[in-house]
Amino acid sequence: MFDHLERARLATLPTPIEDAGRPTVGGPRVWIKRDDLTGLGGGGNKARKLEFLCGDAVARGSKALLTVGASQSNHCRMTAAAGARLGLEVHLVLSGDAPAVGEPRRGNQLLSEMFGAQMHHTGAAESHWGELEVVREALTDSLAAEGLAPYSIPIGGSTAVGALGYALAFEELIDQFEAQGSMPRAIVFTSSSGGTHAGLLAGRAALIASGRLTLDSAPDVVAIGVAKGVNLGLPDVASLANDALALMDLDATVDPDDVEVDPNWMGDDYAVPTEAGTAAIAWAATTGGWLMDAVYSGKGLSGLLGLVASDRWGADDDVVFIHTGGWPALFA
C-alpha cells in the first residue's frame, strides 16, 4: 500500500506498546502506544507524517520547508528537526510574540532554534490558526521568489500526504496486537488538525477492504478533540481520509459516520489547561513514567480516562491510547 509512495525515513519504528493496567476496577485494560518515541527531534506523532511530507518535498526538488503552529508547536519543532536531517532550510510561522531581548527560548522553541529553523512570530493568539495560514501563504510566495521552491505545510501537517503516516501506523499497531494474540476494541488519541485521525481511519478502511479485518473486528477510532475546529467538524476528516486512500491506490472508502470526535475534554479553548488534563498528566507520570503535556496529550488522556470511568468498555476489552508526544512543552 505504501511502497510506491515517496518517503523520507525519519522515524524510529515501530514504536512499542506498553501495558498501563486497568485504571478502574472491572474496566478495560489500557495500553499506551509510544509514539512519543519516534526519535526525530525529541519524538512525537508528527515524525510519521513528516516521513511522507518530506519525501514528497525532496521528490519535488524543494530546498525549504515552511509550516505553522502555536508558540509551543510540536509539529514545528519536528519539522525543524526533519529539515536539519535532510539539509533543508526551515521557516516556522508561530503564534505569539518573540522572546524579549536577552530572554532565552524555552521548550519547543529552544529545540527549533537548535535545529536551525528561522522563526516568524505573528503575535496571533494561540487558537487563531487562520492568521497563521495567511502569513504562511505570503511567506511561501516570498521564498518561491527567492528560488527556494518551498514545500509549504498547513498546520499539523494535516494533508492527505501527511495522513499516510497514520494509515501506516494503524497497520503497525494491528501487527503488534496480532503478534501478542489480541485485538484492541478501540484506539483513542488526541486530535486538533485532523490528520492523525484521517490517517487512522484510512488505515482501518484499508485493512477491512483487504479482508484482514472485518467491520466487527476492527477497532473503533475515537478522537479526543482539543481544538474548536475539529470539534465542529473542521477539517472534513472523512474526505481527508479518502484522499489518503486514493494516494494509496486503494478501492476503499471512509464514511462520515466513521468519524467520532469527543469534544468534552478541550476546556475553554485550545492550549488552555484543564483540571482533568492536569490530573491525567499526573496519572501518566506516576503510573508509567510517561510525560504528557497540558495542550495536547494530557487532554487526550483525560478523555480516555473519562470514557473508561463512564464504563464505555468492559473488562474483556483492550483499549489503546496513542501517546503523540509533546513533552518539550513541559519546560515552557
11 located within any domain: no
- Asked if the model's pLDDT at residue 210 lies above 90, the reply is yes
Residue 219 sits in the same domain as residue 319: yes
* 3-state SS, residue 292: coil
Residue 33 sits in the same domain as residue 55: no
Residue 207 sits in the same domain as residue 80: no
Q: Are 165 and 110 in contact (CB under 8 A)?
A: no
Residue 27 sits in the same domain as residue 60: no
Please identify, among 141, 156, 171, the residue that sits at the C-terminal boundary of a domain: 156
Residue 27: all three cell numbers together = 474496566
Largest Cα–Cα separation, the chain: 62
Residue 114 sits in the same domain as residue 181: no
- Asked if the model's pLDDT at residue 6 lies above 90, the reply is yes
Helix (H) or strand (E) holding 269: none
Residue (of 243, 176, 217, 238) closest to 317 by Cα position: 217
Q: What is the pLDDT of residues 26-40, one digit of tens each?
A: 999 999 999 999 999
The mean pLDDT of the chain is 97
Q: What is the pLDDT of residue 129?
A: 87
Contacts of 48 (CB under 8 A, 6+ apart): 11, 13, 35, 38, 165, 166, 168, 169, 199
- Asked if the model's pLDDT at residue 332 lies above 90, the reply is no
Rounded average pLDDT over 249-261: 96
Residue 199 sits in the same domain as residue 322: yes
Domain that holds residue 304: 17-45+158-331
Residue 324 sits in the same domain as residue 182: yes
CA dihedral 107, 111, 117, 120 (to 10 degrees): 10
Residue 234: all three cell numbers together = 473542521
Q: What is the pLDDT of residues 43-74, one digit of tens each?
A: 999 999 999 999 999 999 999 999 999 999 99
Please identify, among 130, 156, 182, the residue that sits at the C-terminal boundary of a domain: 156
Q: What is the pLDDT of residues 273-323, one digit of tens each?
A: 999 999 999 999 999 999 999 999 999 999 999 999 999 999 999 999 999
5 located within any domain: no
Residue 118 sits in the same domain as residue 186: no
Where residue 33 sits, what CATH number does that domain have? Answer: 3.40.50.1100
User: Could you give the count of Cα atoms lying within 13 Å of 90 in the half-sphere of its Cβ?
Assistant: 25
Residue 193 sits in the same domain as residue 266: yes
